[in-house]
Amino acid sequence: MNSSYFYSSIMLVAGFGIPVMAALNGGLGAKLGNPALASTLLLLVGLLLSVIYLLVTEGVPTRFYDTSIPWYFYTGGVVVTFYNLAITWIAPRFGISNTVSFVLLGQLLAMTLIDHYGLIGAPQYPISLRRLAGLVLMVAGVFLVLGRSTK
């Protein structure tokens, strides 16, 4: 199997997970009356599953930190925690399609900047007219699929 098709398929399924997670965790936060608790529970379940996966596939790690790696590579947990807290709190108030549409818009803008400048060690892919046109069309698409007015 072509790895591009395999990777694309896996990420397509992962993409389906974002609105499902928003609906589930937003609903849990609303039912508990506590979005922070729902977010914490989601992260705890994720931690447990990640540790199981790590131990099954790689075994017990021999090191957890490497001083040759820049510190900011260890801050992804801050980003995922912010995302999780934000989506859990906002999704029940703003709607799943509105919430995820703006998440997608943020992803599109961030990916373009990261690629163009080669930020955070990513390969550099300069913005071309073709990529810019695709970005503009995707941004327009995000606004066209909004579930309700954002006013």
* Mean pLDDT of the 67-92 span: 94
Same domain assignment for residues 89 and 100: no
The confidence score (pLDDT) of residue 2 equals 81
Domain boundary among 70, 94, 118: 94
* Mean pLDDT of the 30-54 span: 97
Q: Measured between alpha carbons, how far is 70 from 72 in angstroms, rounded to an integer?
A: 6
Q: Model confidence over 12-29: pLDDT tens digits?
A: 999 999 999 999 999 999
Number of domains in the chain: 2
Same domain assignment for residues 21 and 69: yes
What string of DSSP letters covers the chain? --HHHHHHHHHHHHHHHHHHHHHHHHHHHHHHT-HHHHHHHHHHHHHHHHHHHHHHHT-S-S-S--TTS-GGGG-HHHHHHHHHHHHHHHHHHH-HHHHHHHHHHHHHHHHHHHHHHTGGGPPP----HHHHHHHHHHHHHHHHT-SS---
Task: Give yes or no for residue 34 having a pLDDT over 90.
Answer: yes
Same domain assignment for residues 5 and 58: yes
Task: Give yes or no for residue 54 having a pLDDT over 80.
Answer: yes
Q: Measured between alpha carbons, how far is 73 from 59 in angstroms, rounded to an integer?
A: 22
* Mean pLDDT of the 108-125 span: 94
Same domain assignment for residues 24 and 62: yes
**Where do we find the tokens 């990513």?**
122
CB atoms within 10 A of CB 139: 14
Q: Which residue range forms the structural domain that includes residue 150? A: 96-151
Domain boundary among 56, 77, 94: 94
* Mean pLDDT of the 129-141 span: 92
Task: Give yes or no for residue 147 having a pLDDT over 80.
Answer: no
The confidence score (pLDDT) of residue 64 equals 87
**Where do we find the tokens 């260890």?**
74
Same domain assignment for residues 25 and 59: yes
Domain boundary among 94, 121, 140: 94
